[in-house]
C-alpha cells in the first residue's frame, strides 16, 4: 500500500501534538485570496485554446511526416504541420437552403422610405421624411422626381399620421398618377389631397380616379389648373357615382364646358353629398347646364358654397340662382366677373329672403347698372334677409345708393354688414373749365417755381410788358425765343397749346399766337395787374463849373 509522504508527515505531527493544534486553530493564516496586499494578475486567455473549444482549431499530433515535407502547402487539403482556423460560413448555406427572411418596417414608413430610396438610387426628400410623423406633408413647388412617386406611395400606404398631402405645382407624369391612385386604395388616413397645377390631364385623371370609389377617407380634392377638360371630369363623375366620398371639390381652371356640368349632375342624382364646389375660370356659359346643377344643389341640405366666377355667364342664369337660394343652408355664392345685369339681378334679389344662412353674395365686376345695384341694396332693409357681405366692386352707383347704404348700415340688425361698390356717379355733369384760364395759371406757376425768391417773377407782367412794346401776332418759335430771352422758359407743347387757344392767322403747320387775346384775358383774370409804366428817361443833373482859386490868374506887373 503506497502512502503519500505529505499525508505521513501531517498524520505524525497531529498524533504527536494533538492538543497544540486544537488550541492554535485560530492562529492559522487566511487564504491567499483574502490577503489585503495580494495583487492577482489575470493570465491572458489563449486564442488557440478558445478556438479549440469552439471546434475551429486542431493542434495536431506535433509530429512531422517526412512524406509531406517536400510538398507544397496548396497540394494537400490540410498541411500536417500547419494548422489554420476554419472559415465561418458567411450565410451561403442559409441562402441556398432557406427562404429569404421577410423584413418588416414600422407603419410610419420612414425606414421603408429610406430603404427604397437607396435601392432606387435617388436622394431622400428631407421634408417628406420628417413629415411622415406629422399631420401634413407640404411639398408645394418642390419639383418631385418621377422616380419618387412610387416610393412615396409605398411609404404612405400604411401611414396613420398624415392627413393632408399637398403636391401643388409639381408636374406629375402618368406613372406618378398611377401610384397616387394606388396610394388612395391602400391608405385610409389621408383626408385632403391638393393637386393644384400638376397638369395631370385626362390620362392622369383616369389613373387616379379608377379606384377612388374604394377610398373612404378622402373628402377634399383640389384639381384646379390641371387641364382635365370634359374627359377628365367624366372619370371623376364616374368615381363619385360609384361611391367616392368627396364633399369639397375644386375644378377651377380646367377648360370645362357644359358637358362637364352635366356629367357631374348625373353623379349628383345618385350621390349628392357635396358641400363646396368651385367651377371658376372655365367656359361653361350654358344656362341649361347651370339650371340643372343648381336644381340638384338646392336639394342638398349639406351644400354650403358655390363659385361660378369667370365663366362668361349672362342674365339667363338668374332663374337658376334663384332656385339655388331656396336651399336654406347655402352660405356663399360667387358670381363675379360674369355678364349679369337686368332681369338676373331682380331674380337674385327676390330669392335673398329664402337663403336664411347666406353670408356672402359676390357680384363684383359685372356690368350692373346703378339701378341694379339699388335693387340689391334695398333688399337689405328687410330683417328677413340675413346677408352679411354684398360685394359690388367696380359697379357704378349714384349718390342715392350712398345715402341708402348709410341708412342701412345704421340699422341695429345690420351691424358688421359689408357693402362695397365702385365709382360714384354724380347726379349733374361736372362744370366745364376754361382752357385759357388753365394755360395762363400754368405759365404763372412756372414763373413762381424757382427755389430762390430772388429769381421768381410774375409771368403775366412779362406778357403785358411784351404787349406794350409790340402788340402783334407771333410765330410759335419766335414767341418761345422772346420769352426765353425774358427768362421765361416754356415747353414747346405749352407754346403750341397757346397757339391753339389764342389763335392768330395760320402760318405753316401751326397757328400764330394772338398776343392781344392773351392780354385781354389776363385783364379779366387778374384785374389788378396793369401794364408797367414806361421807364422815364434819367433826369439831367446840372454840374456847376469849378470855381477858380483866388490869386492864381492874376498877371504880374
Give Cα separations from 370 to 407, 419, 430 (angstroms). 17, 14, 19
State how far the Cα of 179 lies from the Cα of 169, in Å rounded to an integer: 18
pLDDT for res 37: 55
Beta strand 332-334 pairing with 305-307: parallel
State how far the Cα of 522 lies from the Cα of 450, in Å rounded to an integer: 22
pLDDT for res 491: 86
pLDDT for res 221: 97
Please compute the mean of the pLDDT values over residues 11-31 and round it to a whole number. 52
State how far the Cα of 468 lies from the Cα of 289, in Å rounded to an integer: 80
**5 CB contacts (<8 Å, ≥6 apart)?**
none
pLDDT tens by residue, 418-467: 999 999 988 666 667 788 898 999 988 988 887 788 778 788 888 888 88
Within 10 A of 402 (CB to CB), how many other CB atoms are there?
13
Integer-rounded Cα radius of gyration of the chain: 53
pLDDT tens by residue, 278-307: 999 999 999 999 999 999 999 999 999 999
- Dig out the grid coordinates for 509 from the structure: 403747320
Looking from the CA of 69 toward its CB, the CA atoms found within 13 Å total 5
State how far the Cα of 270 lies from the Cα of 268, in Å rounded to an integer: 5
234, pLDDT greater than 90: yes
12, pLDDT greater than 90: no
The continuous run of DSSP H or E covering 427 comes out as none
State how far the Cα of 446 lies from the Cα of 457, in Å rounded to an integer: 9
Burial 23-54 (b: 16+ CB within 10 A, else e): eeeeeeeeeeeeeeeeeeeeeeeeeeeeeeee
State how far the Cα of 301 lies from the Cα of 417, in Å rounded to an integer: 25
pLDDT for res 39: 57
Pairwise pLDDT comparison (164 vs 3), residue with the higher score: 164
State how far the Cα of 117 lies from the Cα of 104, in Å rounded to an integer: 16
Q: Give 249's strand partners.
A: 221, 277
C-alpha closest to that of 242 among 214, 279, 283, 208: 214
C-alpha closest to that of 161 among 136, 140, 126: 136
357, pLDDT greater than 90: yes
Please give the mean pLDDT across all residues of the chain.
Answer: 86
Most confident of the ranges 231-245, 485-499, 519-533: 231-245
The continuous run of DSSP H or E covering 293 comes out as helix 287-299
88, pLDDT greater than 80: no
Model confidence band, residue 46 (pLDDT cutoffs 50, 70, 90): confident
Residue pair 244/214 in contact (Cβ under 8 Å)? The answer is no
Q: Above pLDDT 70, what percent of the chain?
A: 84
Q: For the chain, list the domains and their CATH numbers.
A: 43-100 (no CATH), 110-419 (3.80.10.10), 435-525 (1.10.238.110)
The one-character DSSP state at 166 is E
473-474 β-sheet, strand order: 473-474, 510-514, 503-507
State how far the Cα of 387 lies from the Cα of 358, in Å rounded to an integer: 6
Model confidence band, residue 553 (pLDDT cutoffs 50, 70, 90): low
Pairwise pLDDT comparison (78 vs 141), residue with the higher score: 141
- Dig out the grid coordinates for 403 from the structure: 345715402
- Dig out the grid coordinates for 493 from the structure: 407743347
Residue pair 401/430 in contact (Cβ under 8 Å)? The answer is no
State how far the Cα of 443 lies from the Cα of 494, in Å rounded to an integer: 9
Q: Give 334's strand partners.
A: 307, 362
pLDDT for res 557: 46
Amino acid at each position: 500500500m503506497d502512502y503519500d509522504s505529505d499525508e505521513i508527515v501531517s498524520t505524525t505531527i497531529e498524533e504527536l501534538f494533538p492538543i497544540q493544534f486544537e488550541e492554535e486553530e485560530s492562529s492559522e493564516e487566511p487564504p491567499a485570496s483574502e490577503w489585503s496586499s495580494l495583487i492577482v494578475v489575470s493570465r491572458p486567455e489563449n486564442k488557440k485554446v478558445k478556438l479549440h473549444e469552439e471546434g475551429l482549431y486542431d493542434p495536431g499530433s506535433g509530429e512531422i511526416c517526412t512524406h509531406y515535407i517536400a510538398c507544397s502547402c496548396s497540394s494537400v487539403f490540410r498541411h500536417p504541420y500547419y494548422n489554420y482556423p476554419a472559415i465561418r460560413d458567411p450565410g451561403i448555406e442559409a441562402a441556398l437552403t432557406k427562404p429569404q427572411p421577410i423584413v418588416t418596417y414600422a407603419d410610419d414608413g420612414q425606414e421603408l422610405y429610406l430603404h427604397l430610396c437607396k435601392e432606387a438610387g435617388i436622394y431622400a426628400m428631407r421634408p417628406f421624411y420628417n413629415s411622415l410623423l406629422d399631420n401634413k406633408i407640404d411639398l408645394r413647388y418642390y419639383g418631385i422626381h418621377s422616380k419618387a412617386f412610387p416610393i412615396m406611395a409605398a411609404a404612405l400606404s400604411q401611414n396613420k399620421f398624415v392627413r393632408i398631402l399637398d403636391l401643388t405645382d409639381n408636374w406629375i407624369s402618368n406613372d406618378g398618377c398611377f401610384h397616387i391612385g394606388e396610394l388612395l386604395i391602400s391608405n385610409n388616413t389621408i383626408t385632403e389631397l391638393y393637386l393644384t397645377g400638376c397638369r395631370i390631364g385626362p390620362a392622369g385623371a383616369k389613373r387616379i380616379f379608377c379606384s377612388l370609389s374604394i377610398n373612404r377617407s378622402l373628402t377634399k380634392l383640389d384639381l384646379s389648373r390641371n387641364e382635365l377638360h370634359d374627359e377628365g371630369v367624366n372619370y371623376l363623375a364616374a368615381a363619385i357615382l360609384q361611391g367616392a366620398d368627396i364633399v369639397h371639390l375644386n375644378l377651377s381652371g380646367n377648360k370645362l364646358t357644359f358637358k362637364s356640368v352635366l356629367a357631374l349632375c348625373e353623379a349628383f342624382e345618385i350621390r349628392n353629398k357635396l358641400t363646396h364646389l368651385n367651377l371658376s375660370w372655365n367656359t361653361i356659359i350654358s344656362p341649361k347646364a347651370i339650371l340643372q346643377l343648381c336644381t340638384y344643389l338646392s336639394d342638398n341640405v349639406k351644400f354650403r358654397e358655390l363659385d361660378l366666377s369667370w365663366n362668361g355667364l349672362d342674365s339667363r342664369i338668374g332663374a337658376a340662382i334663384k332656385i339655388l337660394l331656396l336651399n336654406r343652408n347655402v352660405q356663399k355664392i360667387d358670381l363675379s366677373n360674369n355678364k349679369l345685369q337686368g332681369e338676373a339681378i331682380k331674380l337674385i334679389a327676390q330669392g335673398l329672403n329664402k337663403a336664411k344662412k347666406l353670408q356672402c353674395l359676390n357680384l363684383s365686376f359685372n356690368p350692373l347698372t346703378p339701378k341694379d345695384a339699388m335693387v340689391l341694396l334695398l333688399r337689405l332693409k328687410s330683417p328677413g334677409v340675413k346677408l352679411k357681405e354684398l360685394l359690388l366692386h367696380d359697379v357704378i352707383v349714384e349718390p342715392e345708393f350712398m345715402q341708402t347704404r348709410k341708412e342701412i348700415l345704421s340699422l341695429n340688425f345690420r351691424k358688421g354688414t359689408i357693402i362695397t361698390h365702385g365709382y360714384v356717379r354724380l347726379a349733374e355733369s361736372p362744370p366745364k373749365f376754361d382752357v385759357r384760364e388753365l394755360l395762363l395759371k400754368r405759365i404763372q406757376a412756372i414763373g413762381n417755381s424757382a427755389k430762390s425768391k430772388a429769381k421768381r417773377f410774375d409771368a403775366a407782367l412779362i406778357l403785358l410788358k411784351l404787349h406794350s412794346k409790340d402788340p402783334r401776332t407771333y410765330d410759335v418759335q419766335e414767341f418761345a425765343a422772346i420769352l426765353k430771352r425774358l427768362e421765361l422758359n416754356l415747353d414747346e407743347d405749352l407754346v403750341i397749346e397757346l397757339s391753339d387757344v389764342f389763335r392768330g392767322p395760320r402760318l405753316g403747320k401751326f397757328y400764330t399766337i394772338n398776343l392781344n387775346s392773351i392780354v385781354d384775358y389776363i385783364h379779366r383774370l387778374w384785374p389788378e395787374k396793369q401794364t408797367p409804366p414806361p421807364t422815364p428817361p434819367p433826369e439831367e443833373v446840372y454840374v456847376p463849373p469849378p470855381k477858380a482859386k483866388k490869386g492864381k490868374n492874376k498877371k504880374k506887373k
